[in-house]
């Protein structure tokens, strides 16, 4: 059943209702191209964004038992996420305090002996990071084990997601992600499990993926099927600044789904009901998580920036364990995986084309459309994090 | 029939007759090695040479009809050469004015709808570069399509070759290439067509290829066969400065040809006759075209600099369409292709060895021979373009 | 037969007897991590260490006859080592004095005509480096062959090893390697020949390999077998500063050998006897030779630094020609090759893990153990060569 456009209007979903001040937008231009091409700015982003922000590292289910670990690359840095003997998740810099050897070279595994041993000179640490034993170091005057615990990173937990922060004194987790805290309770996020993962390698800057995710101005041309199931004028943003930015889109038809045939991929997740059955949510948890609760599953992307123009983007699908263990439901669910893999690849192509185009010496900046006003907000977060002033006034003829 | 060396002298072809002042040459040394190794200087070359000079992009025949396009890489930049609805060739920067997406990712093709559409947000441009439609941008106060045409590069046409210039206000094409304008009329260059193309990738600086092309001091050792057909002392330069530098060599025997057996590869091109039957011309149209009209065909190289020590060099053979459509003539013509492919590879090897040698910290500069005086002229053009003063006086013992 | 630990003590082999002052060691920390990560410091190392030090290039046997040559890469530089007509070994920069072309592109070979000809313009040099003939250069006023000999590097010979030094005025060879001069006479090193070579490519800084070679603190964990044959507490250093640093380890049992079964790999080398039968020597001849005379063979590593985090490490085994020509002895000798290949790979892994760990922004420096005091000496040699002051006082809590 088609929803009448006017009805959608009256539901407050039209972009016209968002109170966009087009006069103001008239001088909203993209970031200057050096923000996508300058190695110096990229190094600032690593120091001031990736080493200062809350980064989504993994799901709690990935390290369920004491001793279980996963290594999380953050640029050149490697973080060792481990569940300690008391069941708490610890984040250690993956580097021995003795001479700096990387402690763990595997992507994931389990420390069965409940201690972390350096492969080089056999210094041994407790799972909580304290130095347990350093061979023969006691012979050194003044050496004390308690001076050499593993360097630790901060850990934050929400909805089954494990976040880390490499800063020594980060913004408190609950403060930074406040807009998320009450959200999506009907989904029972901590109870969901990874049903599928797709790994992508892309040749573009990390910001282009977030920007791509937050506007649907490109949808009619790039995503014919997505635009049919969720018309782009049905996009609503409700978080405009800070680390959580985003909103939702509405299905054109009642009982729609993001699948190849536009029907739901599965039963509603846990307690999802009412208006939530009609919405697909799209939130950027800046700078590396794109979170998309659907009525019938949760999709998220974890972005890892490898270079100014290279990212690894892993796309995960969460479902309730009861669905995952139901073979026929999982067969039907393939249609959501197929739909999003197709849609992702459509996005990756244009993001890579944009990265190439931004190399031009002639192009400096371009004008955002009203549909892209939220990108201007994201750009401002980047500038704020870097401590840069807004770029100078710009005219297309200058 | 051998030409008597004295006779060749009297024909003014000996290098001795060129009026080389050997006293003057005594302090002519090569460019300092940093001109082949410094990334900073290479970036200056891109900005001040490749973004300011007339570059040979393609032959007119490669985009014959309205809508036909070819994309031309110039370093990081991509230029979209397209024939517009009125039959004119336009050069656009291959980047959308909206957010900087590269418009076209194919090497060549045709815009059948006679418009250029951005793959990302579907902004549409006329073939002449004017913005035709930008979805929903009219809603923005002050937005006018006429403010957002594609950025354009300048186009120059000569002899069927399409040149582009990325500068906003370049030296006029006819002024820059004046020495070429009256030349080679007997060849009817615009009527010729590409009969064969060989693509080469080389690990050397772009200048080494031009320098290699403009001296035959290396020929006796590197090219035994070429030296037999056209002895190196029969080299004459008649253009010594500016963007067109070069001259010709003469066949040792009447009725010679640059083929494996030293006989002509084909019938003379169009109206070529008289003394022209005895000469092979070698002109550098600085910085990226090496043009070599032979009596029986035209050979040219298009140089694309990819990095300080990497180039792509495509070698083309032009013939009259009547020859191309004649199967037995084309069979004979293979001998010219074979000869030049062999000769090219001999050159590429020594240019790559020179690039490696120039990395030495001990070697600074070396002395040009009398046979290489023209390289000193090319070096001066480079220095002039970069705005550098001539290097300080140099002595081999310093 | 096991050696009684107390007996070993009384033999002066325990590290406790080395007079290590642990009070002093209490503030001995590793070099700051930038010494393994900063491209600027690496460039200083190339200029001030690799271009100023005596480097082991090859064995004399590799260029036995006049005209025989080998090309030795030193970073971007290539050195042409050639035996001249009088039987002397000459080291030339592998670059023509004319325009800088690399003269020789092969790894090794022989100049049968006893002259070195540039592949580009055919300038010809005597094996001793003097310019023999430069085509047509005599026509240039003031050109004299004697002004254009090949640039030469210095050559030093010891024990059959050929060393080169790229500096114009290096520290005299005999002065720099004085601690080696009287050593290992029983081995008759010049008479030995290469019996086997293993080539390794490693992703770590060159200094990590030398540091790895000079301490056995890591042996119990990394090398169970080596630790069984030569317990780490039996390590003695007898050269502590300068270009020759090192010492020896003792076999746990009399009649031991560094093989898979702990028995000798072969008969003693030449005149090796007495206490030498009980020792394995480990000397770093800074910066690129690791020399390890065993009672029954000589092992050495030649380190070539390719980038800040990349080296080529070739491992050679020397034996007396009589052993090499004895098939059954060579069959037994495979056990030494197998043992060292296994042990090398154990070392390479931890060195590569350390290179990765040193990328961390959080780890700055760590404390050396008493077993690693010699590394502090090596670090001081590096700082001295670079002209850097010792790093500031450091505390694990700063």
Shortest Cα distance, chain A CAs vs residue C104, angstroms: 37
Shortest Cα distance, chain C CAs vs residue A199, angstroms: 24
Query: Which structure tokens are listed for A114?
Result: 């409940």
Among candidate residues A312, A292, A295, the one with its CA nearest the CA of residue A303: A312
Would the CB atoms of A140 and C369 count as touching at under 8 Å? yes
Q: Is C88 on the interface with B (CB under 8 A)?
A: no
Q: Is C19 on the interface with A (CB under 8 A)?
A: no
Query: What pLDDT shows up at residue B142?
Result: 84
Would the CB atoms of B366 and C136 count as touching at under 8 Å? no
A315-329, B44-58, C17-31: lowest mean pLDDT where?
C17-31
**pLDDT confidence tier of residue C398, bands split at 50, 70 and 90:** low
Chain B contact probe: residue of A16, A208, A356 with most B CBs at under 10 A: A356
Does residue B138 carry a pLDDT above 90? no
Start-to-end CA distance of chain A, whole Å, equals: 50
Query: What pLDDT shows up at residue B14?
Result: 31
**pLDDT confidence tier of residue C182, bands split at 50, 70 and 90:** confident
Does residue C23 carry a pLDDT above 80? no
Does residue A12 carry a pLDDT above 50? no
Q: Considering chain A, what percentage of its residues have pLDDT values greater than 90?
A: 82
**pLDDT confidence tier of residue B398, bands split at 50, 70 and 90:** low
- Report the run of H or E that residue A312 belongs to, with start and end: strand A310-319
- Say if strands C279-285 and C244-250 run parallel, antiparallel, or are unpaired: antiparallel
Q: What residues pair up with A198 in beta bridges, in sequence order?
A: A315
Shortest Cα distance, chain B CAs vs residue C93, angstroms: 8
Would the CB atoms of A142 and C26 count as touching at under 8 Å? yes
CA distance C120 to B333: 29
**pLDDT confidence tier of residue C2, bands split at 50, 70 and 90:** very low
Chain C contact probe: residue of B360, B365, B395 with most C CBs at under 10 A: B360
Query: What pLDDT shows up at residue C9?
Result: 32
Nearest to A141 among C22, C30, C220 (CB): C22
Q: Is A94 on the interface with C (CB under 8 A)?
A: yes
Per-residue DSSP letter, C304? E
Angle at A204 between CA A202 and CA A208, to 5 degrees: 115
Q: Is C25 on the interface with A (CB under 8 A)?
A: yes
Beta-carbon contacts of residue A174 (< 8 Å; ≥ 6 apart): A156, A181
Q: Is B356 on the interface with C (CB under 8 A)?
A: yes
Q: pLDDT digits over B156-213, tens only?
A: 999 999 999 999 999 999 999 999 988 999 999 999 999 999 999 999 999 999 999 9
- One-character DSSP codes across C285-300: ETTTEEEEE-SS-EEE
Q: pLDDT digits over A356-385, tens only?
A: 999 999 999 999 998 898 899 899 999 999
Does residue C259 carry a pLDDT above 60? yes
Nearest to C33 among A100, A103, A141 (CB): A100
Nearest to A100 among C220, C349, C358 (CB): C358
Q: What is the mean pLDDT of residues C158-169?
A: 97
Q: Is B94 on the interface with A (CB under 8 A)?
A: yes
Read off φ and ψ for residue C214, nearest 5 degrees: -100, 5
Query: What pLDDT shows up at residue C22?
Result: 43
Among candidate residues A102, A121, A119, the one with its CA nearest the CA of residue C355: A102
Query: What pLDDT shows up at residue B224?
Result: 96
Chain C neighbors of A76, CB-CB under 8 A: 359-361
Mean pLDDT value across chain A: 91
Query: What pLDDT shows up at residue A25?
Result: 53
Q: pLDDT digits over C80-132, tens only?
A: 999 999 999 999 999 999 999 999 999 999 999 999 999 999 999 999 999 99
**pLDDT confidence tier of residue A28, bands split at 50, 70 and 90:** confident
Does residue A14 carry a pLDDT above 80? no
- Say if strands C310-319 and C298-307 run parallel, antiparallel, or are unpaired: antiparallel
Chain B neighbors of C91, CB-CB under 8 A: none
Query: Which structure tokens are listed for B36?
Result: 């082949």
Chain B neighbors of A371, CB-CB under 8 A: 136
- Report the run of H or E that residue A179 belongs to, with start and end: helix A178-181
Does residue B26 carry a pLDDT above 80? no
Q: What is the mean pLDDT of residues B256-271?
A: 97
Q: What is the mean pLDDT of residues A210-236?
A: 93
Whole-Å CA distances, C56 to B337, C73, C134, C302, C344 = 48, 11, 33, 7, 20
CA distance B63 to B298: 20
**pLDDT confidence tier of residue A142, bands split at 50, 70 and 90:** confident
Would the CB atoms of C221 and A121 count as touching at under 8 Å? yes
Query: What pLDDT shows up at residue C234?
Result: 77
Q: Is C23 on the interface with A (CB under 8 A)?
A: yes
Does residue A291 carry a pLDDT above 90? yes
Q: What residues of chain A, 97 to 136, have a C-beta less than 8 Å from chain B? A: none
Query: Which structure tokens are listed for B191?
Result: 């009527």
Shortest Cα distance, chain B CAs vs residue C72, angstroms: 13
Q: What is the mean pLDDT of residues A17-45?
A: 77
- CA-nearest residue to C77 within chain B is B360
Shortest Cα distance, chain C CAs vs residue B85, angstroms: 50
Nearest to A122 among C220, C357, C397 (CB): C220
Q: Considering chain B, what percentage of its residues have pLDDT values greater than 70?
A: 93
Assess contact for A394 and A364: CB atoms under 8 A: yes
Highest mean pLDDT among A11-15, B242-246, B332-336: B332-336
Among candidate residues B314, B235, B208, the one with its CA nearest the CA of residue B17: B235
Q: Is C363 helix (H, G, I), strand (E, B) or coil?
A: coil
Chain C contact probe: residue of B218, B219, B309, B371 with most C CBs at under 10 A: B218
Query: What pLDDT shows up at residue C25?
Result: 52
Shortest Cα distance, chain A CAs vs residue C260, angstroms: 22
Q: Is A346 on the interface with B (CB under 8 A)?
A: no
Q: Is A150 helix (H, G, I), strand (E, B) or coil?
A: coil
Chains B, C: CB contacts within 8 A come to 106
pTM of the model: 0.92
What phi-psi label fits residue C262: left (phi over 0), alpha (psi between -120 and 50 degrees) or beta? Answer: left
Q: Is B30 on the interface with C (CB under 8 A)?
A: yes
Chain C neighbors of A166, CB-CB under 8 A: 362
Does residue C15 carry a pLDDT above 60? no
Chain A contact probe: residue of C355, C363, C365 with most A CBs at under 10 A: C363
- CA-nearest residue to C365 within chain A is A99
CA distance A271 to A295: 10
Q: pLDDT digits over C133-147, tens only?
A: 999 998 787 899 999
- CA-nearest residue to C150 within chain B is B363
Q: Considering chain C, what percentage of its residues have pLDDT values greater than 70?
A: 93
A94-98, A210-214, A235-239, B379-383: lowest mean pLDDT where?
A235-239
Chain C neighbors of A149, CB-CB under 8 A: none
Query: What pLDDT shows up at residue A391?
Result: 83
Q: pLDDT digits over B271-290, tens only?
A: 999 999 999 999 999 999 99
User: Which chains reach chain C with 3 or more Cβ–Cβ distances below 8 angstroms?
Assistant: A, B
Q: What residues of chain C, 44 to 83, have a C-beta less than 8 Å from chain B? A: 47, 51, 76-78
Sheet of B244-250, strand order: B193-202, B310-319, B298-307, B289-293, B279-285, B244-250, B235-239
Read off φ and ψ for residue B16, nearest 5 degrees: -65, -25
Chain C contact probe: residue of A73, A120, A142, A148 with most C CBs at under 10 A: A120
**pLDDT confidence tier of residue A200, bands split at 50, 70 and 90:** very high
A118 versus A376: the higher-pLDDT residue is A118
Q: What residues of chain C, 371 to 390, have a C-beta less than 8 Å from chain A? A: 371
Question: In chain B, which residue ranges form alpha helices assigned H by DSSP?
Answer: 5-10, 22-25, 34-37, 39-45, 173-176, 178-181, 206-213, 219-222, 224-229, 321-324, 327-357, 373-386
Q: Considering chain B, what percentage of its residues have pLDDT values greater than 90?
A: 82
CA distance B209 to B54: 18
Whole-Å CA distances, B169 to B49, B88, B128, B172, B173 = 14, 20, 19, 8, 11
CA distance C60 to B249: 49
**pLDDT confidence tier of residue A26, bands split at 50, 70 and 90:** low
Q: What is the mean pLDDT of residues A64-78?
A: 97
Burial of A121 (0-12, 13-18, 19+ CB in 10 A): buried
Residue with tokens 């600027």: C40
Does residue A11 carry a pLDDT above 50? no
Nearest to A102 among C222, C356, C368 (CB): C356
Nearest to B362 among C136, C143, C151 (CB): C151
Secondary structure, 3-state, B136-198: CHHHCCCCCHHHCCCCEEEEEEECCEEEEECCCCCCCHHHHCHHHHCCCHHHCHHHCEEEEEE
User: Which chains reach chain B with 3 or more Cβ–Cβ distances below 8 angstroms?
Assistant: A, C
Query: What pLDDT shows up at residue A20?
Result: 44
**pLDDT confidence tier of residue A13, bands split at 50, 70 and 90:** very low
Does residue B244 carry a pLDDT above 80? yes
């Amino acid at each position: 059943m088609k929803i009448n456009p006017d009805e959608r209007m009256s539901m407050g979903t039209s972009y016209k209702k968002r109170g966009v001040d087009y006069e103001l937008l008239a001088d909203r231009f993209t970031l200057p191209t050096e923000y996508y091409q300058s190695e110096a700015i990229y190094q600032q982003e690593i120091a001031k964004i990736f080493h200062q922000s809350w980064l989504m590292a993994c799901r709690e289910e990935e390290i369920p038992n004491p001793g279980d670990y996963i290594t999380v690359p953050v640029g050149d840095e490697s973080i060792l996420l481990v569940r300690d003997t008391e069941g708490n998740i610890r984040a250690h810099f993956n580097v021995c305090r003795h001479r700096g050897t990387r402690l763990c070279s595997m992507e994931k595994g389990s420390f069965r002996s409940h201690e972390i041993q350096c492969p080089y000179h056999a210094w041994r640490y407790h799972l909580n990071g304290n130095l347990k034993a350093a061979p023969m170091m006691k012979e050194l005057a003044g050496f004390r084990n308690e001076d050499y615990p593993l360097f630790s990173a901060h850990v934050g937990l929400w909805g089954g997601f494990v976040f880390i922060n490499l800063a020594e004194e980060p913004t408190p987790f609950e403060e930074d992600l406040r807009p998320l805290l009450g959200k999506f309770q009907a989904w029972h996020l901590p109870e969901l499990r990874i049903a599928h993962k797709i790994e992508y390698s892309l040749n573009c800057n990390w910001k282009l993926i977030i920007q791509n995710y937050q506007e649907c101005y490109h949808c009619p041309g790039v995503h014919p099927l997505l635009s049919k199931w969720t018309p782009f004028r049905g996009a609503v943003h409700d978080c405009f600044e800070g680390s959580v930015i985003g909103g939702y889109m509405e299905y054109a038809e009642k009982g729609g789904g993001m699948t190849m045939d536009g029907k739901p991929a599965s039963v509603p997740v846990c307690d999802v009901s009412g208006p939530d059955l009609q919405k697909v949510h799209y939130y950027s948890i800046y700078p590396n998580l794109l979170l998309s609760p659907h009525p019938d599953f949760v999709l998220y992307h974890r972005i890892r920036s490898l270079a100014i123009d290279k990212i690894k983007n892993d796309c995960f699908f969460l479902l309730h364990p009861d669905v995952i263990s139901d073979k026929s439901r999982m067969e039907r669910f393939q249609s959501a995986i197929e739909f999003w893999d197709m849609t992702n690849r459509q996005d990756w192509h244009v993001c890579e084309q944009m990265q190439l185009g931004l190399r031009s010496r002639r192009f400096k900046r371009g004008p955002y459309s009203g549909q892209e006003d939220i990108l201007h907000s994201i750009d401002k977060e980047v500038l704020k994090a870097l401590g840069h002033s807004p770029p100078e006034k710009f005219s297309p003829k200058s």
